[in-house]
Amino acid sequence: MSEKIEKVYYERGTNELREKSMRAQKLVKAFNDCDPEEGQEKERLIRELFGSVGEGSSIEHNFHCDLGYNIHVGRNFYAGYNCTILDMAEVRIGDDCMIAPNVGIYTAGHNIGPKDRNKSGYGIPITIGNNVWIGGHCAILPGISIGDNSILAAGSIVTKDVPANTIVAGNPAKVLKHITEE
C-alpha cells in the first residue's frame, strides 16, 4: 500500500528543535487551558498549531503533540480526549475521520543501539485516509498508511498498513473483515 518512505532524522537537544517544541508546547497548553465554551479560541489555537485544518474540525481536552505544524487534518475531523500525535514527521488525516479517546499516533522512533538512543531519533510519515474511525486506546506506529473507510477496533496496535474498507483489531492489528455496502 505505501511506498518506501524516507525517515526524517532529528538531533535531540538542539536549539532549533527546542524552539519548535516550545512553540508547540505553549499553543497546546493554551488550547488545553481553554474553557469548553471558548470554541472560537480553541479553533484559532489549533489552526495556529497545525499545518492545515479543514472546516468543522473538533479536538477535545488534553491534546498533545511534538511540533504541530506537521499535522494536517481534513474536514469534519474529530479527536476525543487524551489524543497524542508525535509529529516529528508529517501526519496527514483525511476528511470525516473520528478518533476515540486515548489514541496515540506516533511518527517518532529512536535508534536501537543503546549508545546513541538518547541523542537522536527519526520520524516516518503517517497517512490516514478519509472516513476512518479509530477506536479508543489505539496506537498507530511510524510509517503506517490507513486506507479510506477503515475501522481500527479499540485497543489495536497498528504495525502494518491497513487496506481501504477493512476492520482491523488486535496486537498487532490484523484484518478481521472487509467492509461492504451492506
Which residues are part of the catalytic machinery?
A: 110
Tell me which residue of 142, 164, 1 sits closest to 66, measured CA to CA: 142
Using alpha carbons, list the distances in angstroms from residue 36 to 2, 41, 58, 64: 38, 10, 12, 17
Question: Cα separation of 33 and 158, whole Å?
Answer: 31
Angle of helix 39-49 relative to helix 15-33, nearest 10 degrees?
A: 170
